Structure 1
Amino acid sequence: MRVPIIAGNWKMNKTVSEAVEFVNYIKNELPDPSEREIVLAAPTLSLTSMVQAAKDTPLKIAAENCYCRIAGAYTGETSPRSLSLAGIHHVILGHSERRRLFNETDELINQKVQVALRNGLCPIVCCDDTMGRRIAGKKVRWVVSRILADLKGLSPADVTKVTMAFEPSWAIGTGQSADPEQAAEGCYLIRQTIRDMYGEDIGNAVRILYGGSVNETNIKALMAYDDIDGVLVGGASLDPDRFLKLVNS
């Protein structure tokens, strides 16, 4: 049985002290981890302080990115090995903002996924579907080639450690969420692609999230669909009271 994930992605928001205050505010109000896995992804500077604040609680702390090497002359990048040893559990890879603003390719994301797995991190791999492609009649089928590229070369055992996130780029930060049927369509297509690549059992085991203007008013409708195993939340995760409503909805 797939345990749902509610993951907040703070992006480049909150100072270290604000992040710790947030963790202390919510950490004793979270659902049973056997029912829901709660994750917070924050800027790198806050991660170790958040791990300490969340110690002995169900809350898992995630990185928003990492590099595809564990060490070397890569100024400004973050080592997946260092993240893992610091107690980080998940890492978001391939977010549409990374692809669009920093020109990250599927090839680079695939390299990051492989190195993250080898160093004990569980990747949350994002793939998107642009409004333009939907209007052109291609719907969400473009995600198939992205999944094939991002998961290339992974073993079946590795794929079960990966969480996928379907994030239509036109819905991220716009307040315009995909309707639940659109979200479910994208998540189903991702699952079916993984089934085609790795077989029915692996496809059924992988957790798939929806991300894009998720909030406390639409989360229940989204998660009512069998192929949506949780959500990746942006702006609505920045307020602790709103985030608690989301995780306990």
Structure 2
Amino acid sequence: MATAPRTPLIIGNWKMNGTIGESLKLVTVLMQSLKAPIGCEAAVAPPFTALYSVGVTLQESEYQLAAQDCFWENAGAYTGEISPVFLKDLSCSYVLVGHSERRQFFGETDAAVNRKIDAALRNDLKPVCCVGETLDQYNAKETYTVIERQIKQALVGIGARDLESIVIAYEPIWAIGTGKTATSGYAAEVHAFIRNLLGKLYDAPTADLVRIIYGGSVKTSNAEELLRESQIDGLLVGGASLDGEQFAQIIKAAEVKAVAAQ
């Protein structure tokens, strides 16, 4: 029996950019450029300080709200951290975990990513688990070894029933904010490896339900080409998502993919 096509997913990660006013202006331009995504899902991940205001603006729309990180405990003496309970209270649907910048600048480990995934799932949030290799690892042809380790450790204790709620984001670190983009063919090969790995860890039908998205210098000029690949289920967009009109164009590329899959 044929598996239903996976719904394309586009997430705009605004990182540490945008005051509340700037964030509201950005999301307003986005919604004016594209009133609602059709056949795909689209989410924005503003800074924590703008989550509430952006969430209120999106409340009656088809757009979803994502957070850039969360802690693994619901409450307690963890100064400066953000509880997944708080994110759910703000009507977040998705939360990024293990983004390369969290790993690079804050020493986030695979074990921490695993705990955050578990916490997100407990609170009915869909974790977007980010994995990817550095330039040195890429040049040393260690991409698959690194990604296998990251995914295996991130999914420790996670049952097959929860896997469908998890999104895997492949983000080659050497392509983030550098202007360099993995070719669509290379990205598709890595995505196929990830899906095959999930099939071994769980089973093929379960693995086939998981959305695997690509992140790394995604822009309007390469979004459509990347999304033509059957193994690429969506995009994690950084800088280009800070322009509402550009981000709308990237979402439209996902709409084309959704129509083609029908």
TM-score by length of 1: 0.96
Report the Cα distance in structure 1 between the residues aligned to 2:6 and 2:109, rounded to whole angstroms: 29
- The structure with the greater share of residues assigned to helix is 2
TM-score by length of 2: 0.92
Unaligned runs of 5+ in 2: 254-262
Which AA in structure 1 matches 2:251?
Answer: V
Is the 8 Å Cα contact of residues 24 and 54 (structure 1) preserved in structure 2?
no
1:26 aligned to 20, 30, 38, which one?
30
Q: SS of the residue aligned with 2:213?
A: strand
Instruction: Tell me how large the CA RMSD over aligned residues is.
Output: 1.3
Which of 165-174 and 237-246 deviates more?
237-246
Q: Report deviation, 1:137.
A: 2.7
Which of the pair has the greater relative contact order for Cα pairs under 8 Å at 6+ separation? 2
Q: Is 1:130 aligned to 2:111, yes or no?
A: no
Q: Which residue of 2 aligns with 1:102?
A: 106
Report the Cα distance in structure 2 between the residues aligned to 1:32 and 1:89, rounded to whole angstroms: 17
2:199 aligned to 190, 195, 203, which one?
195
**Which deviations, in whole Å up to 9, do the C-alpha atoms of 1:11-63 show, x marking residues without a partner?**
00011111112222222543765511001011101001111001111110100
Is the 8 Å Cα contact of residues 163 and 207 (structure 1) preserved in structure 2?
yes
1:58 aligned to 62, 75, 98, which one?
62
- Residues 147-166 of structure 1: pairs in structure 2 closer than 5 A: 147-166=151-170
Which AA in structure 2 matches 1:239?
Answer: D
Q: SS of the residue aligned with 1:214?
A: coil
Q: Which residue of 2 aligns with 1:231?
A: 235
Is the 8 Å Cα contact of residues 163 and 206 (structure 1) preserved in structure 2?
yes
Report the Cα distance in structure 2 between the residues aligned to 1:138 and 1:187, rounded to whole angstroms: 15
Which AA in structure 2 matches 1:137?
Answer: K
Which of 169-178 and 184-193 deviates more?
184-193
Which AA in structure 2 matches 1:202?
Answer: T
Identity value in percent:
39
Q: Report deviation, 1:230.
A: 0.5
Q: Is 1:208 aligned to 2:212, yes or no?
A: yes
Which of 72-81 and 239-248 deviates more?
239-248
Which AA in structure 1 matches 2:199?
Answer: R
Q: SS of the residue aligned with 1:205?
A: coil
1:74 aligned to 75, 78, 90, which one?
78
Report the Cα distance in structure 1 between the residues aligned to 2:247 and 2:199, rounded to whole angstroms: 32
Q: Which residue of 2 aligns with 1:143?
A: 147
Q: Which aligned segments of 4 or more residues in structure 1 are displaced greater than 6 angstroms?
A: none
Task: Summarize the Cα distance change of 1:139–1:110 in structure 2 as closer, same or farther, 3 Å threshold.
Answer: closer
Report the Cα distance in structure 1 between the residues aligned to 2:79 and 2:14, rounded to whole angstroms: 23
Which of 169-178 and 179-188 deviates more?
179-188
Q: Is 1:183 aligned to 2:204, yes or no?
A: no
2:173 aligned to 166, 169, 175, which one?
169
Is the 8 Å Cα contact of residues 36 and 61 (structure 2) preserved in structure 1?
no
Which of 225-234 and 23-32 deviates more?
23-32
Report the Cα distance in structure 2 between the residues aligned to 1:27 and 1:156, rounded to whole angstroms: 36
Q: SS of the residue aligned with 1:164?
A: strand
Q: SS of the residue aligned with 1:232?
A: strand
Report the Cα distance in structure 2 between the residues aligned to 1:130 and 1:57, rounded to whole angstroms: 37
Report the Cα distance in structure 1 between the residues aligned to 2:144 and 2:215, rounded to whole angstroms: 14
Which of 229-238 and 124-133 deviates more?
124-133
**Which deviations, in whole Å up to 9, do the C-alpha atoms of 1:69-118 show, x marking residues without a partner?**
01000000000011102111100000000001000000011001001110
Q: Is 1:44 aligned to 2:48, yes or no?
A: yes
